[in-house]
């Protein structure tokens, strides 16, 4: 049976951000907001390790997807302390949409099993995870937290059913949802670029919207404005780099996730001009 590896150390940052009202003192923060552990997973046929970060949140609390929406704290991962790990690929399960006080945020509540596929430097050799995850958990307040992770990854080839179930929730490709074309155009604005994407795809649901991401995490991407033009969903976002100047955009690094409002989520990478 696949069982979680030893429980990771969880450190609570001594700061609290509040969506509204006065900050909550650190000593007033509720106990047991979050429990974290690494699930060791299994070695795949390709020689990678399919593991997972397993988070259990207190009732009413949530954490955020890689792009949190109108408000929230995006998670950040650092695996620099690991041994025999060349890279890590996160397989994000389909998130939930939350509307709070007119703000749309994207994330998870209750429990999250987040599959992480580790590629070894030396195939067949032992792998050890030692990393740090910075994330936010929110109820009426948002608390930035630090998770210190440490785990030896087993060399078993027997899949973990919980991780497999999470992998089954990863959004499908836009092509599988009937997309026939995707185009994007960029125009300079005072402090960056305005990106317009036009995706030819059947309607996904009653409240369609897109989330746009770019390869450079230092570039701020605004929430999109979305509308339908016939068979296309058109989304407009503003991209602002650190120096707040127009820049050359690598369209192959543009990632668009479409949410249908009825639970359907699809993902696409890259667009043409």
pLDDT of residue 29: 57
The reply to whether 118 and 94 lie within a common domain is yes
Entry field: residues in the chain: 273
Query: Where residue 259 sits, what CATH number does that domain have?
Result: 2.60.40
Query: Where residue 65 sits, what CATH number does that domain have?
Result: 2.60.40.1250
> Of 167, 200, 222, which marks where a domain is finished?
167
The reply to whether 223 and 93 lie within a common domain is no
- For residues 255 and 248, the answer to whether their CB atoms sit within 8 Å is no
φ/ψ (deg, to 5) at 172 = -80, 175
The reply to whether 108 and 45 lie within a common domain is yes
Concatenating the DSSP letter of every residue in 30-49 gives PS-SEEEEEEEEEE-TTS-E
pLDDT of residue 212: 97
Query: Distance between CA 155 and CA 2 in Å, rounded?
Result: 12
Instruction: Per-residue pLDDT tens, the chain, 273 aa: give them.
Output: 443 344 344 444 433 333 333 334 444 556 689 999 999 999 999 999 999 999 999 999 999 999 999 888 899 999 999 999 999 999 999 999 998 778 899 999 999 999 999 999 999 999 999 999 999 999 888 889 999 999 999 999 999 999 999 999 999 999 999 999 999 999 999 999 999 999 999 999 988 999 999 999 899 999 999 999 989 999 999 999 999 999 999 999 999 999 998 789 999 999 987
> Of 116, 144, 167, which marks where a domain is finished?
167
The reply to whether 187 and 234 lie within a common domain is yes
| 92: CB partners within 8 A, 6+ apart | 65, 66, 114, 170, 171
Count up the domains in the chain and report the number: 2
The reply to whether 131 and 219 lie within a common domain is no
Integer CA distances (angstroms), 180 to 19, 176, 186, 205, 261, in order: 40, 10, 21, 18, 21
> Of 167, 182, 211, which marks where a domain is finished?
167
Host domain of residue 116: 4-167
The reply to whether 115 and 209 lie within a common domain is no
The reply to whether 24 and 146 lie within a common domain is yes
Query: Distance between CA 254 and CA 232 in Å, rounded?
Result: 18
Which pTM was predicted? 0.87
Chain Cα centroid distance, residue 117: 14
Q: 139-168: b or e for each residue (b if 16 or more CB lie within 10 Å)? A: bebbbebebebbbebbeeeeebebbbebbe
The reply to whether 123 and 54 lie within a common domain is yes
The reply to whether 79 and 214 lie within a common domain is no
């Amino acid at each position: 049976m696949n069982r979680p590896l030893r429980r990771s150390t969880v450190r609570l940052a001594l700061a609290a951000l509040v969506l509204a009202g006065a900050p909550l003192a650190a000593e007033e923060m509720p106990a047991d907001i979050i429990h974290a552990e690494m699930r060791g997973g299994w070695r795949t046929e390709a020689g990678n390790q399919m593991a997972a970060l397993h988070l259990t949140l207190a009732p009413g609390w949530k954490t955020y997807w890689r792009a949190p929406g109108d408000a929230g704290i995006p998670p950040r991962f650092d695996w620099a302390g690991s041994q025999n790990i060349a890279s890590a690929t996160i397989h994000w399960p389909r998130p939930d949409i939350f509307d709070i006080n007119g703000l749309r945020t994207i994330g998870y509540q209750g429990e999250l099993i987040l599959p992480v596929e580790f590629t070894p430097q030396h195939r067949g050799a032992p792998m050890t995870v030692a990393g740090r995850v910075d994330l936010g958990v929110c109820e009426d307040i948002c608390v930035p937290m630090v998770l210190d992770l440490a785990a030896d990854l087993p060399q078993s080839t027997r899949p973990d059913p919980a991780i497999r179930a999470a992998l089954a929730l990863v959004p499908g490709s836009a092509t599988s949802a009937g997309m026939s074309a995707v185009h994007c155009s960029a125009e300079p604005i005072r402090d960056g670029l305005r990106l317009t994407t036009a995706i030819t795809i059947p309607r996904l649901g009653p409240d369609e919207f897109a989330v746009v991401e770019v390869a450079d995490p230092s570039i701020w991407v605004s929430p999109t404005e979305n509308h339908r033009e016939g068979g296309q969903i058109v989304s407009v976002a503003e991209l602002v780099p650190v120096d707040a100047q127009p820049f050359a955009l690598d369209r192959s690094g543009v990632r668009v996730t479409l949410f249908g409002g009825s639970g359907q989520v699809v993902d696409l990478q890259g667009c043409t001009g």
